[in-house]
Structure 1
């Protein structure tokens, strides 16, 4: 049922789809642009607003004309004006599309609105589908396929490292008991070298490489480096040579780990961006699983020739690297790569042509290119938006150093860095990569104690089971990553992971029976791979078990670190911010590779798993206090999410959300959840001025006297929770005053 529209005395009759008549007379928006720029850096009021909200129709038309003449002269001007009006009133045109799709007899006053743009039937269907349907953009399939191939290669390389660890004698290690401790470090160093050099070189090189050749070009360079290093590793005869060749492998891994999720995030529709980026972690897990399948096949077919087995395991990543290169030939470049104003690659026409291929309608492509263009004007961290691109080696070097420095000095960037780095670090603190990197070694050690040298097939099967559970249990996150949300997945799964890791640790140390290797294997498997029959734990093959710890990890900490790293930063600093967060992830992954053999030797199974149980709990506390929700927001909207002071976010969690949670779920009181942000895009403004029932609790005069981080006195802190200006383009109905479900869900949980 559609509510009756609110009368507006300034409303003028609509003449055509591209009527230039303003709805109401307003002053110039020049001062408001400065206010918007400030809010995207210091959002003291928690306001989430459209970058076009301050423009009336005359101002919008004038701006579109400038954009058309400078950037898209070959595009039909009328179509661009239609798209700009739809971009300015996203929620209203979404409701128009839904109301008229149900009732085609609503006439010109569609769904309680009097719009300037009459949507065509295919446009209405496309607007509905992009919000409701996960795979509505058919052009995204080739992007997702390419991202999946890159992720598969990443997982396959990890399996190659893991599998080769089972043959230390082929690398000149484990010759005598006197060298066991030293050999642990040598094997750890050889296994950790790709992760160390990915963190110390590859991630940081991704910024200049992306600047030079784009996301797709960076992925191609990474694939070539991994191909060459895998081919070289197959002929290594010592751990030293393997260490050296894996330096090249690590650089490729680092460049690819930064560039691939960014490509997915920048091409996807904002409503389903998380599910698009999920392809990265999901297919990393699939690559791990299939890598172990090939490891087992190589071992089974060449068991009488261990040297050949190791060569095949180390050289096998060459094949998926070739497939990735083929996929990149057909994959489009990120359209946002061509929309950064201060780079030599700035080309809005190319960006539009790419969007036209990956969106269903011209309206959506024009809307997105114009919105990104306007958002970039507001988010560039320079006083002059017309600043020329840097030139020469020293000019580029100065620009890169400036970007990394601003990650720490600008509030909006610093908040994104804190959040993405915490989640990236948490993935390593949880202990999952102990099973990713050393599942073969771990289960080989616990099964060999009772029957001497256990066949290598058993640890390989356990490793295969780890990869399989990680892949299949990640499937439920495909849609829920964008409906349930990143933050909620983390706060739900981390406590469960803590409990099961602790249970695995306790089960490893509770009885003298655990000295028996078969029993120890079964007890660890029950908590990492669950099997409980009539109260008796039995050793089973890994393929028949359900991986509880891994299954809990798969939809939560598995995909979210790379998702947050690739989406949290503005276009001007996206590679720099993602490189920093992913470098932290890979660096600590390398440290685990390096030191876990010694940790395990000193603490044994129970102590090692107990250590990671405590780190899981620490990760949960950090995520709850410091990590924002980013679901169902465009990349440009996230400027306003991360511009809110981190201390305000923490205060809200502790003083408002926790008490509400206790009253709601412990005491059973039905109270409205407190909101941190004020959504003026999909939530709309309050219609009852002065009523404080929905406001987020920020003081109306916060920052009025000036404050930290260069806050402007009276600029942002004194903003009213109502719309600063009424958007142009249509009459808004009364029901626009409600808070939408999207706004409520994405507030902070």
Structure 2
């Protein structure tokens, strides 16, 4: 019976978590495309932030309604809708003809980000207690694989765009590289749509809708006839406390904010904010930009980003293997310690940087860029800047807006003197720490800590908070980098992670090894 349980639960988990792969790809592919997009549409720093963060805003809007929708039509149908949104967004982004059209297309794709809350919910509802942490973490593993693959495809397309092959120019890969970067997502999105048709509906959702026969058939497919009856009895025993079919949305919201659910709601809010304010999406979405700021150049920046993606995959696997053994809380505390230290390390690394352009640098740049406007920068030749903000301002004042966007990367690469390897070490440690803690653990705990009947609505609420924090962090990052500087920006993330550590230490308790129904009872008991 056990092999049947693992086989079918894992099969459905892998199908559902393909959405995690698409999310990871969608969220990160913009890191390679934003430079080309900025040049094509002549974007300001704020407009760059809007392009990058538009999906998060879409996710924020969709998450508001995803919980009630998942309760009304089921987890499976909600996931099918999100898969279609991903497909439409990929096509729309690839063919966008303006800044506004691109933002709208990416906003539509962002609405599919609500799959991040629906997928863990579905996986948790088809899992046994001793497997739940690992299976829900498979979704996070697919997210980081998607992140990694997006870095690889960006680098591949970037290299391909330099090719002189006729078919490259014929398909406009050389001149419309960013469109290919964004459009290739349509392929996995279409595959996900087709695979989702094979899923059974969630047995817990079916029982809460009084569809007992189909629920029992699904439980039998998952766990075998003997275990299925045991699971059915346990779920049904918990249902009379809060029957889904008898509750309106207003009553569910009222129940969520009641005294007895104060503890799980507080834990959810702490995790939702902590996951974003430590800077994770900034690192993934802007990885090449960060590395360019350290002076290693565009192509090298893409290679470093691929390295970061690989680390993310490896340490997510570490989390997957340990989350049901060590538990959720220890992983969170270990990870936040590493995040705090790594962001402080990055801050210190950028603080040591100095910037100076001289005639030798200009000569080197001219070998790469024949029409480089060297005369415009003559007044600052030989000057040493100890602040990236001051150096950036000096460049900006002496170049046109188009020249600044086009040549900023190459100027920084040749003029900076800093411990770039230290920054790479810091970001690598940060990604490793996040991947084994906040990345998978937040979604696992979201799927565990709320009662069956209001789980969808509750995850919507904390998901909205998570998306709002993510949107804010992404939106202000280009502004922070330009006006506060890299050192101060990373220091802020380090301080936020220290605060998050304190909150997790005080309020988050262990959830491993308990059924969803047992967790509901114990967390409600803590609230008194």
Instruction: Tell me the TM-score normalised to structure 2 length.
Output: 0.83
- Distance apart, 1:244 and its partner CA: 1.6
1:299 is paired with a residue of what secondary structure? helix
Tell me the equivalent position of 1:186.
47
Tell me the equivalent position of 1:226.
86
Say if 1:147 and 1:279, in contact at 8 Å, map to a contact too: no
Task: Choose the corresponding residue for 1:480, options 322, 325, 333.
Answer: 322
> In the alignment, is residue 198 of structure 1 matched against residue 59 of structure 2?
yes
> In the alignment, is residue 333 of structure 1 matched against residue 201 of structure 2?
yes
Q: Distance in 1 between matches of 2:475 and 2:254?
A: 30
Q: Distance in 2 between matches of 1:562 and 1:629?
A: 14
Say if 2:67 and 2:458, in contact at 8 Å, map to a contact too: no
Say if 1:170 and 1:306, in contact at 8 Å, map to a contact too: no
1:247/1:362 CA distance change after superposition, 3 Å: same
Q: Distance in 2 between matches of 1:332 and 1:505?
A: 48
Say if 1:474 and 1:555, in contact at 8 Å, map to a contact too: yes
Task: Choose the corresponding residue for 1:352, options 207, 212, 216.
Answer: 216
1:165 is paired with a residue of what secondary structure? helix
1:512/1:310 CA distance change after superposition, 3 Å: closer
CA deviation profile, 1:340-368 (whole Å, cap 9, x unmatched):
1xxxx321111110011111x31100000
> In the alignment, is residue 633 of structure 1 matched against residue 514 of structure 2?
yes
> In the alignment, is residue 586 of structure 1 matched against residue 467 of structure 2?
yes
Tell me the equivalent position of 1:622.
503
- Distance apart, 1:518 and its partner CA: 5.6
> In the alignment, is residue 281 of structure 1 matched against residue 140 of structure 2?
yes
> In the alignment, is residue 521 of structure 1 matched against residue 420 of structure 2?
yes
Worse-matched range after superposition: 297-306 or 149-158: 297-306
1:631 is paired with a residue of what secondary structure? coil
By percentage of residues, which structure has more helix?
Answer: 2
CA deviation profile, 1:437-466 (whole Å, cap 9, x unmatched):
111111123226xxxxx3x32222122122
> In the alignment, is residue 446 of structure 1 matched against residue 446 of structure 2?
no
Say if 1:161 and 1:314, in contact at 8 Å, map to a contact too: yes
> In the alignment, is residue 497 of structure 1 matched against residue 339 of structure 2?
yes
Which runs of at least 4 in structure 1 moved beyond 6 Å after TM superposition? Answer: none
Say if 2:256 and 2:458, in contact at 8 Å, map to a contact too: yes
Say if 2:275 and 2:442, in contact at 8 Å, map to a contact too: yes
Say if 1:268 and 1:276, in contact at 8 Å, map to a contact too: yes
> In the alignment, is residue 557 of structure 1 matched against residue 406 of structure 2?
no
- Distance apart, 1:226 and its partner CA: 1.1
CA deviation profile, 1:265-288 (whole Å, cap 9, x unmatched):
110111121111001111100000
CA deviation profile, 1:181-236 (whole Å, cap 9, x unmatched):
xx01011012111101211x211221232133311111110000110111011111
Q: Cα RMSD (Å) of the superposition?
A: 2.1
Q: Distance in 2 between matches of 1:476 and 1:346?
A: 39
Q: Distance in 2 between matches of 1:228 and 1:194?
A: 13
Say if 1:192 and 1:594, in contact at 8 Å, map to a contact too: yes
1:518/1:317 CA distance change after superposition, 3 Å: farther
CA deviation profile, 1:376-419 (whole Å, cap 9, x unmatched):
123x0xxxx6x9657xxxxxxxx11321232112422x221110
Tell me the equivalent position of 2:125.
266
Q: Distance in 1 between matches of 2:184 and 2:324?
A: 35
Matches within 5 A, 1:115-514: 126=1, 137-174=6-43, 183-199=44-60, 201-254=61-114, 256-303=115-162, 307-340=175-208, 345-359=209-223, 361-378=224-241, 380=242, 389=246, 399-412=248-261, 414-447=262-295, 454=297, 456-510=298-352, 512=354
Say if 1:411 and 1:643, in contact at 8 Å, map to a contact too: yes
CA deviation profile, 1:587-611 (whole Å, cap 9, x unmatched):
2111111100111112212111111
Q: Distance in 2 between matches of 1:388 and 1:527?
A: 50
1:271 is paired with a residue of what secondary structure? coil
Say if 1:171 and 1:239, in contact at 8 Å, map to a contact too: no
Q: Distance in 2 between matches of 1:517 and 1:594?
A: 26
Paired residues, number: 462
CA deviation profile, 1:239-284 (whole Å, cap 9, x unmatched):
2211122221121222x12211111111011112111100111110
Which structure 2 segments of 5+ residues have no match?
Answer: 163-168, 356-385, 388-414
2:316 is paired with a residue of what secondary structure? coil
Tell me the equivalent position of 2:481.
600
Say if 1:195 and 1:586, in contact at 8 Å, map to a contact too: yes
Say if 1:435 and 1:463, in contact at 8 Å, map to a contact too: no
- Distance apart, 1:567 and its partner CA: 1.7
Q: Distance in 2 between matches of 1:306 and 1:427?
A: 37
- Distance apart, 1:161 and its partner CA: 2.0
Q: Distance in 2 between matches of 1:332 and 1:166?
A: 42
Tell me the equivalent position of 2:390.
none
Say if 2:38 and 2:48, in contact at 8 Å, map to a contact too: no
Which structure 1 segments of 5+ residues have no match?
Answer: 1-125, 175-182, 391-398, 449-453, 529-546, 647-710, 712-749
2:513 is paired with a residue of what secondary structure? coil
- Distance apart, 1:468 and its partner CA: 1.1
Q: Which has the larger radius of gyration?
A: 1
